[in-house]
Structure 1
């Protein structure tokens, strides 16, 4: 019998894990990163690195979670008692807490833009750069929308796995795919849209550089949500009949599909109306409103697009908060509601300085970075690759090889040769690739 602390179905887990991975990384970060790194070449490298390196690490996190059946911290205590490995779990929980504190700020911006679209602030002739700067600089507006985003996240997570997270993702993820598909079709019918398709899908291999390769590798890690223990937490609620390989494969391709659809929504429209694909992080908030204003029913279509971003941002937020809550309640579901409110409010409070980093606290810097940028660098550039490296070493080398192979065969009809290939990739290729990303991030190469 399934309980509120377990997945009620295989598809529920797949949709929720995919929702965790498909967030701002696929819809916001992928398009602007591809736009500034050669388009199709970047997408090709991102595709290869996701399949060959990021997915094996994600499967390793699945192993840790399902094998132990515990939260991110206790899973390492169960699999490696009396060692320092639980600190990797603690690092993941800490990362989720901090990550959600500033991720909710961006989620608040997205919610604010939905309101902008429906209240007339998004219109032909508007100065979208000025609107974006005013939106992120407004102290009360930033805090209010950040709080609303956290309230929505808390409301879902407090209801548990099957009644909260899984139920929400059953509606949000299909809606996201359907709306994205409709927007992509509309974008592809614009004049000169094929120039955008060519930019995204016709690689010029002469543009491959070491920097492009390393950026694509980092995006692959970010896109599958590895290195912050969310996949460990979600996999802990799985039974032994669940096929980890097929689930991992489904989650990976869903993520790649959304990244592709994001590119097919954005780049054809950008080229159709004479904008530059290399606009950077402001692509969604500054360039896209101007693009949509060139379309019939542009304001409505832009509102739909931002609703998509809200859906994707929320599904990732659920997994971050759940990772922290699971580690605190330690399987005592009677504590879930109260602890979710307490922790959610604490994350909101910690995130307030990040929300103010673009306005009243913009002059407060640490190592030349605002608090928002400092947290972002610490999580995505330091903790995520370090934790991913630790997971690959833990499963690939610390755990008994026979134990790992036996567990990964449970519930799976994947050929033994594929499982062996996965383990060898985890042991050799993944650590080397992660070390390269880590070194590049720190400026060592």
Structure 2
């Protein structure tokens, strides 16, 4: 996949087929959809428990450095490739590669992204089902009270039923498919325009309440007083993996979404606005969770159940707490949908182009396959809870199936996908692609290209290799 002669000579001729008939109606819809793809439960569910499990401040330092030096440049690159190629990830990469004389093998990068997106969506849908299940439980059974042990016991009981989790997984996947089947403007954009602002308002209110009644000094110390004992490659890899997972780079999601954008939309503004919004909501989630964690003496490293255990404690002390809790988990369900929609669209876009399927058929096939694959994640929280697939390997001896799938995607496949996209955009694609599609000056394009050529690949390789081999 080396750079080929003539890679600098291509102009806008890499466009294939012109704008799609179904696309974003304007910048607001595109930005909200991108923010929704980035935010989801990656920011609200995964961010707090990853921060809690990896020492707080050191993790945040690596996370912010990874965003600035790796994730944002990759997002710019994916946006430029997507709008130039006007297709799914492999199709867009193929169009750009063909125009600049690069090897067609670069299209495998897009295929890898779709495979990774499929795996992520298979377990993401299960967690998305939890949010709906909790919303229903809050309305039906009310809050479990202010005893942390009672809250934890309810969560354990919730996970104990594989049939309930499978049903919620099916409902979540069905809702995702229903929106994707309606298309880009009629389904995805219409949904996020209403629901993302509502989620933001509730997150601000919840974080404000948590700060007021919880242990703010302990939270500030945990998040911002550097703990040097966690300055290691393992923490850096976890932080980098979360950046990839949360923003959605390395999959080709941003290639797919940018392919639906008109020339009048500023990709640079959408990219920067989306990352800032995602980061702000991630920090809001941290301030909604950790003050309650420390005020009640809970363990911030309690893993995937952190949000489902700590937030009910906060709601139990609020006026109309049951109603607020139900509303929050409904909106968390919506945020999860916004991310799941983008991942399913990633798969559907490839099926419609590669197999010539209609959108409805492609959506049904992709959603059904993801649901079937997700059953293994469902079982890993109950019937397979004690199964350790790689128990013979010391460093993986305690990892469940879900843990292994999460590590495979977040810590390995996503960084590899990001590395290959960086190499393609930095070496194979011409600088003019970045200038024209991102509306960068030559200086800005040169800086971005240097990050994609050298900084991002070196950081991804160094962090991943150190963590996996150390």
Question: Structure 2-normalised TM-score?
Answer: 0.86
Q: Could you tell me whether the CA contact under 8 Å between 1:4 and 1:162 is conserved in 2?
A: no
What do the CA deviations read for 1:403-434 (whole angstroms, capped 9, x no partner)?
Answer: 3344335xx3x443222211111111100111
1:398 aligned residue: 428
> Hey, what does 2:346 align to over in structure 1?
323
Residue of structure 2 in register with 1:62 after alignment: 79
1:79-98 paired onto structure 2 within 5 Å: 79-81=96-98, 83-98=104-119
Aligned to 1:385: 415
Residue 189 of structure 1: SS of its match in structure 2?
Answer: helix
- 1:195 Cα deviation (Å)? 3.5
Q: For each residue in 1:338-390, what CA deviation from the matched residue of structure 2 results, as whole angstroms up to 9, or x when unmatched?
A: 32123212221222232122223445553245443333232222211111000
Structure 1 residue 13, shift from structure 2 partner = 0.8
Distance of 1:400 and 1:76 partners within structure 2? 13
| Cα deviation 1:194-229 (Å, max 9, x = unaligned) | 4424433x3336456124344333322222111111
Which consecutive aligned stretches of 4+ in structure 1 deviate over 6 angstroms post-superposition?
Answer: 331-334
User: What's the CA shift for 1:187?
Assistant: 1.6
Q: Give 1:231 shift.
A: 0.9
Give the structure 2 partner of residue 100 of structure 1: 121
Q: What RMSD in Å do the two structures reach over aligned CA positions?
A: 2.5
- Alignment: residue pair count: 439
Q: Give the distance between the partners of 1:337 and 1:4, measured in 2 at CA.
A: 16
1:298 to 321, 328, 334: 321
Q: If the length of structure 1 is used for normalisation, what is the TM-score?
A: 0.91
Cα offsets for 1:56-114 (capped at 9, x unmatched): 01111112111111111211221224621111111111222222111111111121111
Distance in 2 between the 1:305 and 1:439 partners?
39
Is residue 2:279 matched to residue 1:249?
A: no
Aligned mates of 1:144, 1:206 — CA distance in 2: 44
- One of 47, 54, 64 as aligned partner of 2:64: 47
The Cα offsets for residues 256-303 of structure 1, whole Å up to 9 and x where unpaired, read as 110111112112222333434333332112233234324443333332
Query: For residue 37 of structure 1, what is the aligned residue in structure 2?
Result: 54
2:337 matched to 1:308? no
Q: Secondary structure at the match of 1:359?
A: coil
Number of the residue aligned with 2:154: 131
**Structure 2 residues without counterparts, runs of 5 or longer:** 1-17, 392-398
- Report how far residue 20 of structure 1 moved: 0.9
Structure 2 residue aligned with 1:430: 456
User: Which deviates more from structure 2 when the two are superposed, residues 342-351 or residues 299-308?
Assistant: 299-308
**After the TM superposition, which of the residue ranges 276-285 and 249-258 deviates more from structure 2?**
276-285
Q: Is the 8 A contact 1:2 1:8 kept in 2?
A: no
CA distance in 2, matches of 1:296, 1:145: 29
Corresponding residue SS for 1:254: helix
Kindly provide the CA deviation profile for residues 385-404 of structure 1, in whole angstroms up to 9, marking residues without a partner as x: 11100000001011233x33
Where does residue 141 of structure 2 map in the other structure?
A: 120
| Unmatched segments (≥5 aa) in structure 1 | none
Name the CA distance, whole Å, in 2 between partners of 1:371 and 1:48: 30
Distance 1:400 1:63, change over 3 A: same
Matched, 1:373 2:403: yes
* Corresponding residue of 1:196: 219
Distance 2:20 2:201 in 1: 30
CA contact (8 A) 1:363 1:370 kept: yes
Deviates more, 1:91-100 or 1:125-134: 125-134
Q: Which moved more, 1:383-392 or 1:258-267?
A: 258-267
